[in-house]
């Protein structure tokens, strides 16, 4: 169980965070009752494995009773308090369910905002640990944002909010540059889209380069097609990229630096791109391309 409100007594605790809500359909595949229109007050629901002291249960019950009602078919995060512990921040909030039935949540990135809606921290949490949240209930939970999850050093003490990053739940998709979209046959677009959808899921904030095709051209150049894979919730711009290619013998067969003119890879997408290593850059006359790898040039200094 989490050490809630370690530094405060019951009469010192007050709600310092704001609330954020999403339609349940954006998080769940559960059926929704669209006939309901009345607002929903949520009852306190303590995790069944917790042995919460009566004093803290009283505090949560008091805070919960003071929450604003929800609309039907909503899931909400109601911020309670932020406490600093070392270089991490413990964020206490209610996870609220206005549906009539119990719900179970999965992994999703949560965003911590300041009062001006600037992102302060972001981290993926496994919300299945909350267990089944009963219908029309509020379950208190603590979300720990370690130092590496912080976007800024300034963490607000009031007016902050915690929110589901819905965009991180969208399927990873193909992002074609305009030139590719105009020139590539539809059948090739479909092949790339299928490839992207079948690749292993990226971790939160992961960005990598994956080789798709490598071949020697008639004039001896090495043509490589890669996927820039962006698992971040924001777009990434590439300006200049030094690359090297390794063949099946794990030998570097080509190196080159490429200017990309602010090539943008949209959030949660994979973008294909082709790099041509002129034959003068090749380090091996007959590379074994049955298996190959492309990567940024390793800095040995």
Mean pLDDT by 10 residues, the chain (301 residues): 68 87 84 74 95 90 95 96 92 96 92 92 93 96 95 88 84 91 94 93 86 94 96 87 95 94 90 96 92 86 45
Q: Could you say which of 169, 185, 217 is where a domain stops? A: 169
Asked whether residue 301 is domain-assigned, the answer is no
Give the domain range for residue 203.
Answer: 173-296
Q: Verify that 135 and 42 share a domain, yes or no.
A: yes
Asked whether residue 4 is domain-assigned, the answer is no
Asked whether residue 15 is domain-assigned, the answer is yes
Residue with tokens 């709600």: 15
Q: Verify that 65 and 160 share a domain, yes or no.
A: yes
Tally the domains of the chain: 2
Q: Could you say which of 169, 185, 211 is where a domain stops? A: 169
Q: Verify that 111 and 206 share a domain, yes or no.
A: no
Q: Could you say which of 139, 169, 199 is where a domain stops? A: 169
Asked whether residue 5 is domain-assigned, the answer is no
Can you give the pLDDT at residue 298?
Answer: 76
Q: Verify that 21 and 72 share a domain, yes or no.
A: yes
Asked whether residue 77 is domain-assigned, the answer is yes
Q: Verify that 165 and 18 share a domain, yes or no.
A: yes
């Amino acid at each position: 169980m989490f050490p809630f409100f370690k530094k405060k007594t019951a009469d010192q605790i007050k709600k310092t965070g704001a609330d954020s809500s999403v339609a349940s359909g954006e998080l769940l595949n559960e059926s929704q009752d669209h006939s309901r229109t009345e607002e929903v007050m949520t009852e306190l629901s303590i995790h069944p494995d917790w042995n919460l002291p009566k004093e803290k249960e009283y505090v949560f019950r008091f805070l919960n009773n003071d929450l604003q009602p929800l609309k039907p078919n909503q899931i909400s995060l109601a911020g309670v308090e932020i406490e600093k512990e070392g270089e991490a921040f413990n964020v206490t909030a209610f996870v609220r369910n206005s549906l009539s039935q119990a719900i179970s949540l999965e992994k999703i990135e949560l965003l911590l905002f300041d009062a001006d809606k600037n992102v302060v921290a972001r981290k993926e949490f496994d919300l299945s640990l909350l267990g089944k949240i009963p219908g029309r209930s509020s379950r208190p939970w603590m979300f720990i944002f370690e130092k590496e999850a912080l976007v800024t050093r300034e963490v607000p003490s009031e007016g902050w909010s915690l929110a589901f990053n819905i965009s991180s739940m969208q399927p990873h998709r193909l992002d074609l540059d305009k030139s590719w979209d105009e020139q590539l046959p539809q059948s090739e677009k479909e092949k790339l889209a299928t490839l992207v959808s079948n690749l292993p899921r990226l971790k939160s904030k992961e960005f990598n380069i994956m080789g798709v095709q490598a071949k020697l051209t008639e004039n001896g150049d090495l043509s490589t097609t890669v996927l820039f894979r962006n698992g971040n919730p924001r777009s990434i711009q590439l300006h200049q990229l030094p690359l090297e290619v390794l063949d099946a013998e794990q030998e570097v067969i080509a190196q080159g630096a490429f200017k990309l003119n602010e090539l943008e890879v949209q959030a949660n997408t994979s973008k294909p791109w082709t790099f041509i290593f002129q034959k003068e850059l090749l380090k091996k006359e007959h590379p074994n391309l049955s298996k190959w790898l492309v990567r940024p040039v390793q800095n040995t200094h």
